[in-house]
Structures are given as structure tokens and as C-alpha cells.
Amino acid sequence: MYFGSDLLTARDAKVVPLRILAHLGDAVFALFERERQTLQAVNVKQMHEKTASRASATTQSELLNVVLPLLTDEEKDLVRRARNLKASGSRSAGQASYRRATAFEALLGFLYLTAPERLKEILESTLPPESPV
């Protein structure tokens, strides 16, 4: 999954600012959803609407609740630190949801750089039971 020459170690990835991990994780999640919708959507408009719905701060905040029980202590620590980042600007989802969504995205960005198989496992755990990847 990682397009760089090598995956980063967890130690190396920890020096990447959390906001950058979240930015990367947002792109990873959007691509995951678009790829998934490619096989399910009837048209591009439907694909966009379903992807945008799943990539919203409110939904990502809820997805964090789904994955939290599956996380290692190291992953939980990263989520905690990312959740504590100050929210910038006004968000329609509310500050608490936005912070939790940022934590979810930072986790995905971290796993994208360090552990593609673990990333896949976490992403698959967010799917509704009847949805194929």
C-alpha cells in the first residue's frame, strides 16, 4: 500500500506530526471508500454521496468507537494524543466529533505508513456486515 520505498518503523512514524498523519489518513479512508463504492455504486453521483457520507466527521467519530476495542495500547495512545489536538476553525459536526474523527484519521495515516495489513484489518472492521471489500 505504501508508495514509498520502505514502510516506516513505528518509531520513525511517531516523529510525523499528528495533523499530517490525520491528513494522510483522511486520504487513505477516502480512497478506501471510493474503491469500495466502485463495485457497488450505480453512478458517480451515488459513489460520491456514499463516500462523502462515510468520510464525514460524524461517521468517522462513530467508526472510532467500532475500532477502539481492537486497538493495541500503542494505537490507543496515538488515538488519545490525536484526539487531544485543538480543533481548527468551526466544524458543523461539533468539536468533540471533529476531534474523534481526527484521531481516527491519524490512526489510519500511521498504519498506512507502518503496517498495511493492520490497516486493512482496521478498515475492514468498519464495514457493515453485508458489505464486501
Q: Which amino acid is at 12?
A: D
Count of beta carbons in the 10 Å neighbourhood of residue 22: 22
Residue 129: exposed, middle, or buried by beta-carbon count in 10 A (0-12, 13-18, 19+)? exposed
**List 12, 26, 73, 77, catalytic entry:** 26
Q: Is 26 a catalytic residue?
A: yes
The CA distance from 18 to 110, in Å, is 9
- Sequence-distant (6+) residues with CB within 8 A of 64 are 79, 100, 101, 103, 104, 107
Please identify every residue annotated as catalytic: 26
